[in-house]
Structures are given as structure tokens and as C-alpha cells.
Structure 1
Amino acid sequence: MEQRHATVLKAAGMKATPKRLAILELLEAESGYASPEELWKTLKGRFDRLGLPTVYRNLEELSESGVLTKVIHPNRQLYYYFCSNPEHHHHFVCLSCRKVEDIPSCGIDALEREVSIRNGGKVLSHILQLNGLCGGCAKKGEKA
């Protein structure tokens, strides 16, 4: 797994440092999203010197390079998710169990055309995240 993560980092033009590899390993094992504080609490025992600012900095760098996905939660806390799908897609985020599922269809094309027609603009990128309860949590009647 570490070699695969190193390959992902190198493809993104980043060094495969032990801390970055540990962050990716932990997020992939989670199979959901995690906060910087949660990651720091788990990883600080593995490294002699690992401060919370270092975790934040690495998460931002990994996100900016496209290796990680930011999950914007209704509680206004920022979380991160490791998505190995390189294709253009969006995510459904379960607010109860933290599971993140790929949504392969986009459907933004019509909105992009509307922006072009209405104001002559050009959409360069977009982010779509759907929040809710996954099937398992919805059946259990859990609340977000």
C-alpha cells in the first residue's frame, strides 16, 4: 500500500515523506472522512515530532495537489477524504457514519452552458458534494 501511495504522491509532483504516506494510509483505512485533529491524535504516537500545524499543512498540500478531497460538513468543520478514483466525479457524504461514495455522473453541463449564455462566462471548474444519510444509516433511522 505504501508503494502505491508513493506513486500517487510522485504523480502529483510531491515528495513521498513518511508523514504524508502515514496520512494517506490512515485515510484510506478509514474509508470515510476524518478531521485534521483526528488524524493528528492517531499519528502523533508514530512520530517523535508531529504537531497539529504540520498535519494541517500536509492536508492542505495534498488537497491542493488533488491527492485528497476536502469534505465540507454542515457543522462547518473541514474534513479530508482519500479518493483513489482519478476520473471526474462527485461525492455523496453520509453525515452519520462518514462513508463517502462516488457519484460517477456529473450533470453540470447544462449549468455551464447557462453561465456561458447568460453572461458570456466560462466555467473552469466546479465542486459538487451531496450530503445525507447512506442507505444503512437511513434504515437505522440515524440522524445527521
Structure 2
Amino acid sequence: MPHDFPSMLKELHLKVTPRRLATLAALATATTYVSPEEVHKRLQGEFARIGLPTVYRNLEELAAGGVITKVLHPNRQLYYYFCPNRSHHHHFVCLACRTVEDLECCGLEEVEKQVGGRVLSHIVQANGLCQACLQAGREAAA
């Protein structure tokens, strides 16, 4: 199912530009999470003059709007993943094959019960090895 990237950008009150559209397309066609440098490399074939700061800025704007997801890797590198699921959910990140899976469980209500207060924001990401990587004996990438 094709994505309506122009509408996504308009909903975020972001100007629809060829670079933003190409950034979304690059992320949507990736099957794993990707680094800003990988996105930059993909876009260089389409745009002779695109700087890494432009890529970073576009990725941050899209992540702030919830169109893409930031993946916080244990190596302290920041990666990005296009997730079309707009409902409240979290992610399981395989550190070997770099796939990202939706987690429908949250546990926020339980946290609020334990602290006796109200959580205003939260980030939940589970890192590990997916079943296929476990069975293949793969190790987490550095």
C-alpha cells in the first residue's frame, strides 16, 4: 500500500519538498532501521547537493511529528525507522538483523499505579535478538 507522503507532511505543517519526500521514501523502502549517514548516501544519488545537516534536520522534524521513529541503539548511535502504525505502541529492535517489530503492550497504567502519579511522557524500546537471529546463532552488532 503506497503512502501519502505529501499529506503526512502537510499534517505536520511541514513544507512538501523533494528532499523531505525522498527522505520518507528512503525510510519507507528500508526493511530495517537506518542511520542518518545511510539515508544521506541513498539521497546523494537523487540530489547531487544534499548535505548531511539537511538530512539530520529533516529526520528530526519527521521524528518530532511522529512520522518516523527514533531507534536508540546501545552503541549510542541514533537510527531511524519508518513506522506506518499511528496507534500508541512501542518497538522491539533486533540488534543483529536490525529489524523493528511493533509491540502493542505498554504497561503505562501499571507504572502510574506503582508511582501513584501521572506519567506525562514515556519512551519504551526493547532491544534484543529476534527469534530468527537466535535460531541462526547470530550475535548483536556493535
State whether TM-score is above 0.5: yes
State the superposition RMSD in angstroms. Answer: 1.5
1:99-114 aligned at under 5 Å gives the runs 99-114=99-114
1:88-127 aligned at under 5 Å gives the runs 88-115=88-115, 117=116, 121-127=117-123
Runs ≥4 in structure 1, deviation > 4 angstroms?
Answer: none
| Secondary structure at 2:4 match in 1 | helix
Gaps of 5+ in 1: none
What is the Cα deviation at residue 3 of structure 1? 6.0
Measured in 2, the distance between the counterparts of 1:83 and 1:106 equals 17
| Secondary structure at 2:47 match in 1 | coil
Aligned pair 1:44/2:44, yes or no? yes
* Counterpart amino acid of residue 108 in structure 1: L
Pick aligned residue for 1:133 from 108, 129, 135: 129
CA 1:3–1:110 in 2, change beyond 3 Å: closer, same or farther?
closer
Measured in 2, the distance between the counterparts of 1:122 and 1:17 equals 39
Q: Which moved further from structure 2: 9-18 or 130-139?
A: 9-18
How many residues are treated as equivalent by the alignment?
Answer: 140
* Counterpart amino acid of residue 33 in structure 1: Y
- Deviation per residue, 1:41-69 (Å, 9 max, x gap): 11112113200000011111111111111
- 1:63 aligned partner: 63
Measured in 2, the distance between the counterparts of 1:2 and 1:8 equals 12
Q: TM-score, normalized by length of structure 2?
A: 0.92
User: Contact (CA 8 Å) 1:8, 1:67: kept in 2 or not?
Assistant: yes
Measured in 2, the distance between the counterparts of 1:125 and 1:31 equals 28
